[in-house]
């Protein structure tokens, strides 16, 4: 009996070891295949910025082909200086393809390196709210190139194997691998909308704009090296968040959000028993009515889009929004937190009029649902001129 058990144990261990070796071989082979394929997809982007005094700043990053027309998807911070605000001037100069592109006293020039050859490119559009942009080659490569296959980042699971391709410190087509460590990272406040995929695959300067690829060879994220805190942490913009706005970037250039003029609770605070929640809400809103505070504290447990400030003469103030209102819908999009509100603002775009905004307002211990019509002025502002 003991002999049979011993033999069974040996067989189990052999099967276990063979399975692990097989998985290792499969993973290694898959990474090799992905690396070979994406050599025909990933490019190095060199951006030269010349200011009015003649000083030149050069940056580099990565990008990847998304179609046969020569459009390249990358990170927005790779192709323009965020301090300059909007980039409409870049798009307006597209009729002069191949020439330097001017904006705010600065001259931008793009060079794309693919298969060892340099190609000039021009700006097409950007979504600076999520740090993505599109440039396009002035002339298609003479060598074969392959558009990336875009996957579904909503299906990504923690623990999946992934591959990152980029140009760290100028080392073209460098490949690193790792696993998905976490999803929905939103705590960095580097970009207006954040929903990062976290990976332990190294993502260093020069990797920004390159693809994060799953084991099926599909791009699930755009690598973003602006988030750097410690070794073993890499972050990527989910491809679904980027691809949703590709056609708008091509048509509109620099995507815009019209200022709403409110500040909302960035995220819900940790809940506790007793009166701590009520005290916190009281401090945040500068309220003293106990009945209202109890109800707002209860409602905001599941919806943290609590209005903390309404700017003077803003569209929100003119429509009638007040401190303490809880936004539950914006232009038909459900809102549960600041992230949802920011996404709804981006989806709505700029220059829209009479946008419906549904709020819950607590008064005299009663919950009231009100729909306001927000009228936006037809003007553009930089992101840092408004909260949401």
pLDDT at site 139: 95
- Please say if the pLDDT value at position 278 is more than 80: no
pLDDT at site 299: 74
131 is annotated as an active-site residue = yes
- Please say if the pLDDT value at position 36 is more than 70: yes
> Could you tell me if residue 5 is inside a domain?
no
pLDDT at site 260: 86
Same domain for 108 and 54:
yes
Which domain, by its residues, includes 220? 21-255
Taking only the tens place, the pLDDT of each residue in 68-127 is 999 999 999 999 875 554 443 333 344 444 444 555 567 889 999 999 999 999 999 999
Task: Name the residue with higher pLDDT: 152 or 177.
Answer: 152
State percent of the chain over pLDDT 90.
38
SS3 at position 349: coil
> Could you tell me if residue 74 is inside a domain?
yes
Mean confidence (pLDDT) of the chain: 79
Taking only the tens place, the pLDDT of each residue in 125-141 is 999 899 999 999 999 99
Same domain for 175 and 42:
yes
Same domain for 194 and 293:
no
Q: Which of 126, 177, 208, 300 is catalytic?
A: 208
Q: Which of 131, 224, 325, 388 is catalytic?
A: 131
Task: Name the residue with higher pLDDT: 256 or 9.
Answer: 256
> Could you tell me if residue 12 is inside a domain?
no
The residues, any chain, with a CB within 8 Å of residue 291's CB and separated by 6 or more, are 364, 365
SS3 at position 277: helix
Strand segments, DSSP code E, in the chain are: 42-50, 56-65, 71-74, 101-103, 106-114, 117-127, 132-137, 161-166, 174-185, 196-199, 211-214, 219-223, 234-238, 262-264, 307-310, 326-330, 333-334, 355-363, 366-374
Q: Do 177 and 201 contact (CB within 8 A), yes or no? A: yes
Q: Which of 71, 77, 122, 387 is catalytic?
A: 77
Question: Chain centroid to CA 382: how far?
Answer: 18
- Residue 334: give its domain's CATH number: 2.30.42.10
Same domain for 283 and 139:
no
208 is annotated as an active-site residue = yes
Q: 340: part of which helix (H) or strand (E)?
A: helix 338-348
pLDDT band at 167 (very low <50, low <70, confident <90, very high): confident
* Domain termination residue (choose one: 236, 255, 274): 255
pLDDT at site 302: 74
pLDDT at site 243: 94
286 is annotated as an active-site residue = no
Q: How far apart are CA 87 and CA 2, in angstroms?
A: 76
Number of domains into which the chain is organized:
2
Same domain for 294 and 169:
no
Indicate yes or no: pTM above 0.75.
yes
Nearest partner of 41 among 265, 241, 159, 211, judged by Cα: 211
- Please say if the pLDDT value at position 328 is more than 60: yes
Q: Which residues pair with 141 in a beta bridge?
A: none
Same domain for 224 and 183:
yes
Same domain for 293 and 206:
no
Look at the block and give the residue holding tokens 């200011």: 51
Q: How far apart are CA 264 and CA 323, in angstroms?
A: 9
Same domain for 238 and 153:
yes
């Amino acid at each position: 009996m003991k002999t049979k058990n011993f033999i069974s144990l040996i067989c189990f261990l052999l099967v276990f070891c063979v399975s692990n070796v097989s998985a290792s071989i499969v993973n290694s082979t898959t990474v090799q295949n992905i690396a070979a394929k994406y050599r025909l997809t990933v490019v190095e982007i060199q951006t030269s910025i010349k200011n009015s005094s003649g000083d030149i700043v050069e940056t580099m990053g990565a990008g990847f082909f998304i179609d046969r027309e020569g459009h390249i998807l990358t990170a927005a911070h790779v192709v323009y200086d965020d301090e300059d605000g909007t980039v409409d001037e870049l798009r307006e100069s597209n009729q002069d393809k191949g020439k330097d592109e001017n904006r705010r006293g600065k001259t931008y020039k793009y060079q794309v390196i693919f298969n060892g050859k340099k190609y000039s490119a021009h700006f097409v559009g950007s979504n600076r709210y999520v740090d993505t942009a599109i440039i396009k080659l002035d002339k298609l490569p003479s060598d074969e190139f392959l558009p990336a296959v875009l996957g579904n980042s909503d299906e990504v699971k923690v623990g999946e194997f992934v591959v990152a391709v980029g140009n760290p410190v100028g080392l073209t087509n460098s490949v690193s691998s790792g696993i998905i460590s976490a999803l929905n990272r939103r705590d960095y406040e580097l970009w207006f909308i954040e929903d990062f995929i976290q990976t332990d695959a190294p993502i260093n300067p020069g990797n920004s704009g390159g693809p994060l690829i799953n084991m099926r060879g599909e791009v699930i994220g755009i690598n973003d090296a602006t988030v750097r805190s410690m070794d073993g942490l890499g972050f990527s913009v989910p491809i679904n968040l980027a691809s949703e706005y590709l056609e708008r970037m091509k048509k509109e250039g620099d995507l815009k959000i019209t200022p709403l003029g409110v500040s909302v609770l960035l995220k819900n605070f940790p809940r506790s028993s007793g009166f701590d929640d009520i005290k916190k809400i009281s401090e945040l809103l500068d309220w003293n009515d106990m009945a209202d505070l109890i109800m707002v504290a209860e409602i905001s447990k599941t919806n943290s889009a609590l209005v903390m400030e309404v700017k003077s003469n803003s569209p929100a103030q003119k429509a009638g929004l007040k401190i303490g209102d809880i936004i539950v819908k914006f232009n038909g999009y459900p809102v549960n937190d600041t992230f949802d509100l920011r996404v709804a603002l981006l989806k709505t775009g700029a220059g829209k009029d009479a946008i419906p905004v549904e709020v819950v307002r607590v008064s005299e211990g009663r919950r009231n649902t009100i729909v306001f019509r927000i009228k936006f002025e037809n003007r553009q502002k930089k992101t840092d001129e408004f909260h949401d």
